[in-house]
Structure 1
Amino acid sequence: MASPNRFEISEQTHGANFAMYNFHSHSWYEIFYLQSGQCTFYIQDKTYLMKKGDIAVIPPDILHKTAYLAEVNKRLCIEFSANYIQPVISMFGNETLDSRLFTVLHNSTENTAFLDSLILNMINEYKQRDYISPAFLNVYFQEFILRLMRGSIPLDGRTIDFNNSSNTMQLAVDYINENFQSRLTLSDIAERFHLNPSYFSKRFKTVIGTGFKEYINNLRITKSEKMLLETNKNITEIAFECGFENSNYYGDSFKQKNGVSPTEYRKLKGNIK
């Protein structure tokens, strides 16, 4: 079913010592819920020790990654577009949500039981997918967010012990995220932040976990996935609007990442075009 609204739920189980080595970000919001186990959660310049029942709420374009510590670790992710949380933002304001919600949260056993019940309801509606499901999902999700705000306690995080250039890398990523449609070269970005290109390249890969070119390609492809599902623009238009200089290179890069072409992806995900 084609929809301009992103709302996806996924569950995964990981063993001990599984780690997401690359920092990543995306253009939508994410809720990361550790249902069992223990993990280290890195977000921007802080790290948190998360245990069963802890939840991270991550705004768009914020770098994060995880490393799992227990023998069995189960996590649930909810990815959602801004319209799902806009009613809460309208009621409480961005400043309140930045301090109260957009962080890593600890939940009591009682609050976790409420949240688990709402998650089960959301999963059932997500799988059912009839014409009333979007409305139920919205209602359950709003209650989920409000219960997080009422019953959760922000966890204390400690600053990651990177050297000072990590802050520059975050600024570089912020700049790339805001200008991905433009022509971006390593030399230009390095010059912008007054760094030697070779040093910038090495430091970018160390801090972000992926190479400069790979990061930009993945970001552009992620942006294009959204356009494929939410617009009727043709493949060439999408390629150019996402910063690719030709549609053939875009198609090859997209297939390498997703295993299917942009056209096949659009059909598989339900876009009518």
Structure 2
Amino acid sequence: MLLYEIERLRRDQPFSMTMNHFHDHYEIYYLLRGKRYYFIQDRSYLIQEGDLVFIDKNELHKTRNADIHLHERILLNFDDSWIRSIDEKASTHLLVPFQQKQHIFSLTGANRTFVENLLFSLLREKHQALGGWQLNSKALLTQLLFFCSRITDKISSAQEDPPAYNPKIFEIVAYINEQYRNRLTLASISESFHISPSYFCRTFKETTGFSFIEYLNNVRIREAQRLLRETKLKVIHIAEQSGFDSVAHFGRVFKQVTTQTPLECRKFIRHNV
């Protein structure tokens, strides 16, 4: 089944994402109004009106409040099947914006007007659902992705979080991303990076939007999903290779993060290849 979704949403009250968030499809986030902090993989970015955000498959991400509570955004999601339905070889060109180190495109002037017109047209096509709307939506999305592929080097990325966010936290995030298979605890990381546990917990949450355990579990479960998808390893071995001490703990955390058991996930993957 093809995945393609687009929605426009405005919020007038403070809002920060509470759910752990990564998925096996592509996401485009466009901020029409306001400001947001956007954590992607191992960095936080301050995004503003006119910023276009590209999230690749299985990239950990989360948005949270900035100093302006009101914000309005457009969110577009699609999967590999949707891209292949445009053209079997389309991914070579269309997915370039998701494969760059630069996640954020800051749009101004004619570039901003062009992108907003494409997004509004995509919203209108999905809402009206007239004959041929899917075909036209694919054409519009193709224009958007080609445009962003070609201007990658011409527009500046959004600024990263201000220096008030301790760069040591980003060192710790990078360390977790590399060492998640090993036993990692609050105490061991605090000792290794010479900071107090209480300061670490508070600053990590402020910077990333995740608690230490939430982030570690997400990194480990993302690896487990990859192993379920790409190997025939037994669940007990996947648990070990993902950094879990026991298969029971692995199963509980996996279902908490994904709403599926590991075996349900593997069965779903096989049925949807």
TM over 0.5: yes
Once the 2 structures are TM-superposed, how far is the Cα of residue 237 of structure 1 from its aligned partner? 2.0
Gaps of 5+ in 2: 81-88, 127-134
Q: What is the CA-CA distance between 1:167 and the residue it aligns to?
A: 0.7
Q: CA RMSD in A?
A: 4.6
- Give yes or no for contact 2:17–2:63 (8 Å, CA) kept in 1: yes
Given the alignment of the two structures, is residue 55 of structure 1 paired with residue 52 of structure 2, yes or no?
yes
What is the CA deviation profile of residues 44-89 of structure 1, one whole-angstrom value per residue up to 9, with x for unaligned ones?
35412134xx4113567676524496878343244779xx998469
Partner residue, 1:247? 247
Q: 2 CA distance for matches of 1:63 and 1:158?
A: 14
Distance 2:253 2:19 in 1: 20
CA–CA separation in structure 2 for the residues paired with 1:18 and 1:10: 25
Matched, 1:32 2:34: no
The reply on whether 1:73 has 2:72 as its aligned counterpart is: yes
The number of residue pairs the alignment matches comes to 247
> Aligned ranges for residues 85-124 of structure 1 at < 5 Å?
87=92, 97-98=100-101, 101-106=102-107, 107-114=111-118
TM-score (norm 1): 0.66
Specify the code of the residue in structure 1 equivalent to 2:251. G
Shift of 1:28: 7.5
Deviation per CA, 1:197-231, whole angstroms, max 9, x where unpaired? 34323332333333222321122122222332333
| Secondary structure class of the residue paired with 1:203 | helix
Q: In the aligned structure 2, how far is the partner of 1:141 from the partner of 1:19?
A: 28
Matches of residues 83-232 of structure 1 in structure 2 within 5 Å? 87=92, 97-98=100-101, 101-106=102-107, 107-114=111-118, 144-150=144-150, 153-154=155-156, 156-157=158-159, 159-160=161-162, 162-163=164-165, 166-232=166-232
Judging changes above 3 Å, is the alpha-carbon distance between structure 1 residues 208 and 112 closer, same or farther for their aligned structure 2 residues?
closer
Q: How do residues 4-15 of structure 1 correspond to structure 2 at under 5 angstroms?
A: 9-12=4-7, 13=9, 15=11
Q: 1:25 to 1:182 in 2, by over 3 A?
A: farther
8 Å CA contact 1:36, 1:73 repeated in 2: yes
The answer (yes or no) to whether the contact 1:10–1:77 under 8 Å persists in 2 is yes
- Residues 49 and 114 of structure 1, relative CA distance in 2, 3 Å threshold: closer
Once the two structures are TM-superposed, the CA of residue 36 in structure 1 deviates from its matched residue by: 5.0
The 3 A distance-change label for structure 1 pair 40 and 27 is same
Unpaired runs of 5+ in structure 1? Answer: 2-6, 123-132
Question: Is the contact between residue 28 and residue 79 of structure 1 (CA under 8 Å) also seen in structure 2?
Answer: no
TM-score relative to the length of structure 2: 0.66
Farther-moved stretch of structure 1 (253-262 vs 105-114): 105-114
Specify the code of the residue in structure 2 equivalent to 1:265.
C
Aligned CA distance change for structure 1 residues 171 and 22 (closer, same or farther; 3 Å): farther
2:265 aligned partner, one-letter code: Y
- Which residue type is aligned with residue 211 of structure 2? G
Question: Offset at 1:240?
Answer: 1.3
Partners of 2:144 and 2:231 lie apart in 1 by 30
**Alpha-carbon offset, residue 252 of structure 1:** 1.3
Report percent identity of matched pairs. Answer: 23
Give the distance between the partners of 2:155 and 2:124, measured in 1 at CA.
Answer: 22
Letter in 1 for 2:30: L
Residue 103 of structure 1, CA deviation: 2.3
Once the 2 structures are TM-superposed, how far is the Cα of residue 146 of structure 1 from its aligned partner? 3.1
Determine helix, strand or coil for the equivalent of 1:238. helix
Q: Which consecutive segments of 4 or more residues in structure 1 shift more than 6 A?
A: 22-25, 68-72, 115-122, 139-142
